[in-house]
Amino acid sequence: MSTYGSSSSHDHPTSPTSTKKASQVSLPKPPTFASRHGRRFHGDESIPYYLPCDVQELSRQSLFHEVQREVYGGLYCAEFSDNNIPCKVLELCCGTAIWSASVADEFAARGRPDVQFVGLDIVPVHADMKGVNFTFVKHNFQVLPLPFADGEFDYVFGREISMATPISDAKQMTECVRILKPGGTLEIQCSDYSIRSLQRSHITSYTPGSSAYTMVPTTQFASTAENAYIHAWNERITKMLTKNNLSPVPCTLIGPQLLMEEEIVGLQSKRVALPLDEIWWESPNSDSKAPHLTREKRISADAASIESRSGINRKSSQSATRRSSTSSGSLQSPLTASEKAVRNLAKLTFAQLIESLEPVLRETNGIRQDDWDNWYKELMVDFFENGGLTGGECMEFGAWWGVKSKSS
């Protein structure tokens, strides 16, 4: 990845001429932030956005970027030949802009260090990027039109934009098409917030090296979550998102929205289910040693001993991956060390997401602070020490990409 050093901003003034005094130059206003519940959020209360923008959350997003790279098999799913690398790229809701920095490195390695990258978001939280032709534009993605000309970009990319995309409004996709050049590419990647459990129905769809299962028509999921903490999470996140006109399952919405865009042709997609731990049936002799058969007894014992544990803290998700998982017991796992690492990283970022959304989840669901603290502490023990996610609990990812018709 590019080293961080310098970049430009939409609000930055032009360099003063030799005849203009330095005191006359108006410097850009620094971003405003607000401290709430011990976390840093953007300071404009008129813009609804529910994740913090502090170091802890930005670190989670950077780690999640690596998870997505693994499950998709790269930084993007669209294909660009060496002769067709985009000249100007827009990253929607760019956040840390780590995607732009990573893709800039890849394009430069393919002989195109001149590609222009533009990042759009409500507040600049990215580090300066030395060696990347990057410009930040401060703008709320929910406010249309976007501040760009028709056909300005060769490639428009959006990842995890569902927190800024109301369920009832498909105009944002149309706006993305407007600013795309004829022949340009639009790609949207997202992951579902609701967690389902993958069933032992289509094992052949596993993609070695990615830790994930490619979703096909025969892929089956359980109707309800077996894990009690996942079940509670699903109820709470669904209530919170739907109350704010957002979707807990954006992967089911993006495809139909893009299909409605008549100017987008050749639409392709990739759906992936990434287990959050080794699934019981992935191990040899699993039929006779399935961990879920004794799950209720194990949970009861865990709950009784939780308060006596001194090594677990509700803010300890950063160190959780250092603990040994007992998810497979004495069974020998067919997963490689790198595949296990991807799943552990996904589990860590999922736990950190729950932590980041704590304020709005507690408020929406009417949960007292003490009750939340106890629940989260027990969740961490269940996830990271007691193999509580061996029932096939998965994060689901989806990518859709297509090209704007040249006849547009």
What is the DSSP annotation of 340-388? HHHHHHHHHHHHHHHHHTHHHHHHHHT--HHHHHHHHHHHHHHHHTS-T
Q: Please report the sign of the dihedral spanned by the C-alpha atoms of residue 291, residue 295, residue 300, residue 303.
A: positive
Q: ∠39-44-45 over CA atoms, to 5°?
A: 80
Compute the CA torsion angle 236, 237, 240, 246 (nearest 10 deg).
Answer: -160
The stretches in the chain having pLDDT less than 70 are: 1-30, 202-204, 284-333, 408
Look at the block and give the residue holding tokens 């923008």: 53
Per-residue model confidence (pLDDT) at position 352 = 98
CA distance 180 to 318: 39
In the chain, the amino acid numbered 190 is C
Give me the residue spans of the domains in the chain.
Answer: 34-192+247-271+397-404, 196-231+275-395
Beta strands at 39-42 and 88-92: parallel, antiparallel or unpaired: unpaired
Per-residue model confidence (pLDDT) at position 203 = 60
Given a contact cutoff of 8 angstroms between Cβ atoms, the answer to whether 125 and 62 are in contact is: no
Give residue-wise pLDDT tens across range 63-118: 999 999 999 999 999 999 999 999 999 999 999 999 999 999 999 999 999 999 99
Task: Map 309-353 to HEC letters.
Answer: CCCCCCCCHHHHHHCCCCCCCCCCCCCCHHHHHHHHHHHHHHHHH
User: How is residue 127 written in tokens?
Assistant: 């580090």
Per-residue model confidence (pLDDT) at position 204 = 62
28: preceding bond cis by omega (within 30 degrees): no
Task: Map 215-250 to HEC letters.
Answer: CCCCCCECCCCCCHHHHHHHHHHHHHHHHCCCCCCH
φ and ψ of 198, to 5 deg: -70, 135
φ and ψ of 372, to 5 deg: -65, -45
CA distance 235 to 365: 9
Q: Give the CATH class of 34-192+247-271+397-404.
A: alpha beta
